[in-house]
Each structure stands twice: as structure tokens, then as C-alpha cells.
Amino acid sequence: MTEIAAPAATPFRVPSLIKRNVALFALSQSFTGAGMQLAYGIGPLMVIALTGSSALAGLFVGLVGMSRFLVAYPIGKIMDRYGRKPGIMLGLVLALVGSLLMGTMMHIQSIVGLAIGMLVFGMGMNAANQMRVAATDMFPSRYRATALGYVALGSVAGLFFSPMVIAAAERFAPGLGPDPMALSWFLLPPLIVMGMILIRFVRPDPKEIGMRLGDYYPGYAPPPSPAGAQASRFNASDLLRAVPTRLAIVANCAGQANMSIVMVLTSLVLHHHGHSLTHIAISHLFHSMGMFAFTIPLGRLSDRFGRERVMYPGVATTLVGAILVTFTEGYGLITLGTFLVGIGWAAANVSATALIADHARTEVRGRAIGLNETFAGISSVAAALVTGPLITWSGLPAAGATAAIVAAVPLIMVLVTKVPK
């Protein structure tokens, strides 16, 4: 199922239609991306407010990770069968329902209902985030990481919506009645609807473009299909057997697990020092800037110098960031640490996704990337489950050390594994 980039004497020129589609995806991401920033920013505090236990602080991140595990492969299968747009739209509908459900359950103080809302919202957002599959469809191999960067860059605009939503909720909640954290979720649906409208204008479906790249890029030679292979056949063992894709999955999981722990730590540490919800949201803004603001240069580096030369330094950067968040004091150093975790995750995620897309045909790419996201969801759940108990039993240093150890795993693996060129 490996795709080999066809040689070309001159660079391909990106058609205006594809540029338009990428712009629509990026704009949609700018509206819908605010939801996930809101979730990570105040989610742990919502759980503590309803349960009174810091041991359950990782519940929100764990449920988001669980939703990723539940939805990533099925949505990839839907995308491979029906197209990329139907899968993305289904995700945004689920996110809309989950947002309203969380706001309602936070208002009536129901932790069970809130957990259900978290799961639905997380499934929706993680499904919608598979627009990355659509981005890889529309570009030849040597431009895929850059294309992922352009789509992810749309999230940068969305970063500013999250603090604005929280600030508006804090201002108007006293007069309207709901808790500010509940009101924040009632202010999110209009942004999701805007994202849905933009996706409607994407034409044709990116899967159709990926199936006929030669029609859009003169001189592009599609990779030959293996003899006797069926277009729709997907075998997960192919990705896990191949050393480069196996290491890419591990690196992506390590970056995700590290970030899941650090995001919980950031909110709890800043809250412990008396910072407001708005200040916490601003700190998470810097984290998210690291995640999305530099995706284009990171993608270009990955396309130019190779996926591994960006992926592994990215994982190492998350390790450094986890240490800063956990073992330093002061708002500035903690925020710097969470920023480094964000940019390290971006480098690992963009490169790992592009590498896996390089090894999968268009017909099965949704499932291949979905499998990668499934493993990332498992790692996120595991990280979230251990974070709360670690903080309760051993304090913040134990949780931070765990985040650093997790990030070290793929770095050790690549040192002891012979990676084929």
C-alpha cells in the first residue's frame, strides 16, 4: 500500500481550485477549532467543580481521548466509502450537539450528563479534524506536510475565539444566571455552524481529487497498484509491520500522551496560583499557538528534509516543555513550557501524518490515518487516567516526570531500531 512519489523535473503548480478548497478548510478550522481549545482550557476545572476531586482532573482529557479512539477509524471508513465531506459534516453535527449538552449538564450540575456531553463533543471534533485526510488527498507526496500546515494554520484564528468566548461568559453570566463555564458552551454553536457552511462550498470532494491527481497536476505519475490488489482493501498490519510507519505511530502517540498530561497540569497549576479563567485561557492560547502557528514552516521542513528529521526533534521538544511546566515556577515559565509542548506536538503530528499518508493509497488513506488517530486516542486516554491519581498520590512532579518519560520512548526506539532509508 506504499505510495512512491513520482519524479518531476519541475515543481508542480497548485491549481486555483485546490487552493480554494484548502482556504475553505482553513477558514472552517478557524471557527470550529475554538471548541477544542475551550475544552482543554476549562474542561478539567469543570470536572473538579462538579466532583470536588483533583484525582478526576484528567477525566475530561481522557474522555476526549476515548472519543478519538471510538471515532477515528469508523470516520475514516466513512470517508473512504462516501467521501471526505460527509465525514467532516457528521463530525461537526456531533460537536454541535455535544456543546449544547455540556452547557446544559454543567448548568444543572450533572457529572454523568457532562461526561456524556464530553464524549459526544469529542467524537464530533475528532471526526471533523480528519479534514487533514482531505488535505493530503489534494497534493502529491512532496507537498503533503505543507498542505497539512496550511489547514492547521486556520486553527490559529480560532485560538483567539476561545479566550473571547470565556471572557464574554464571565462578563454576562452573573446577569443571565448560568455558571460562566456553562455559558461558554452555549456561545460556541454559532462558530460551529459557520464552519459547517464553509465546508459545504468545498468542491469537488477531495477524495475525487486524490483519485485523479494527474488531472490537476500535469506531469504527475500515479504510483502503480500492486498486482491483484483491491482498491478498497486495507490491512492495519501493513502499517504496523513497516518500520517507518510503526515509529511514526509511536511518535505521534508519545506526543499526544505528553500533551494530554501537560494540558491538565497547566490548568491545575495556574488555578492553584490564583489565576483567573481568562488567564488560564491565555496560557492555553500560547500552547495552541505552538500547536498551529508554525505548522506551515514545520510542514515545509518535513517535505524538504524528510519526515523523521522533523518528527523526532518535535517529540524531544515536548519532553523539554513538560519539564518546564512541572519543575519551574512563575506564569511565564509555565506558559513557555506549555508552548514548547504545543510546537513539539505539531512537528511530530504533521510529519507522522504525512509519512503515513505517503504510505497509503487514496482509497484507504482515511482508514490509515484513522488507525494512527485511534492509537493516539488510546495513548491520550491512558495518560489522562494516570494524571489525576498521580497528582493526588505523588504531586505534580510525578505527573510531569511521567510526561517526560512518555516522550522519551520513541527517541529510545529510533536509536535502537534500524530504520530503512
Residue-level pLDDT at 130: 86
Predicted confidence pLDDT, tens digits, the chain (421 residues):
544 444 344 467 889 999 999 999 999 988 888 888 788 778 878 888 898 876 676 677 778 878 988 999 999 999 999 999 999 999 999 999 999 999 999 999 999 999 999 999 999 999 998 898 999 999 998 899 999 998 888 877 777 787 788 888 888 887 776 788 889 999 999 999 999 999 999 999 999 999 999 899 988 877 665 444 445 578 888 889 999 999 999 999 999 999 988 987 887 777 777 777 777 878 877 888 898 889 999 999 999 999 999 999 999 999 999 999 888 888 889 899 999 999 999 999 999 999 999 999 899 999 999 999 999 989 988 887 787 788 778 777 788 889 999 999 999 999 988 766 5
Calpha distance 19→16 (Å, rounded): 5
Residue-level pLDDT at 45: 83
Helical pair 243-272 and 277-292, crossing angle rounded to 10 deg: 160
Q: Report yes or no: 288 and 224 within 8 Å, Cβ to Cβ.
A: no
- HEC secondary structure over 43-78: HHHHHHHHHCCHHHCCHHHHHHHHHHHHHHHHHHHH
Residue-level pLDDT at 166: 85
Residue-level pLDDT at 55: 66
**Ranges of each domain in the chain:** 16-200+207-212+235-415
For 214, the 3-state DSSP assignment is helix
Taking the model in full, what pTM does it have?
0.83
Q: Report yes or no: 146 and 310 within 8 Å, Cβ to Cβ.
A: no
Q: Which of 119, 113, 150, 122 is nearest to 134 (CA)?
A: 150
For 348, the 3-state DSSP assignment is helix
Task: State the cell numbers at 65.
Answer: 481521548
Buried b (16+ CB within 10 A) or exposed e, 389-414: bbbeeeebebbbbbbbebbbbbeebb
Q: Which of 63, 89, 93, 87 is nearest to 75 (CA)?
A: 87
Concatenating the DSSP letter of every residue in 215-280 gives HHSTT--PPPPPTT--TT---HHHHHHSHHHHHHHHHHHHHHHHHHHHHHHHHHHHHHTT--HHHH
Q: Report yes or no: 301 and 341 within 8 Å, Cβ to Cβ.
A: no
Report the top-level CATH class of 16-200+207-212+235-415: mainly alpha
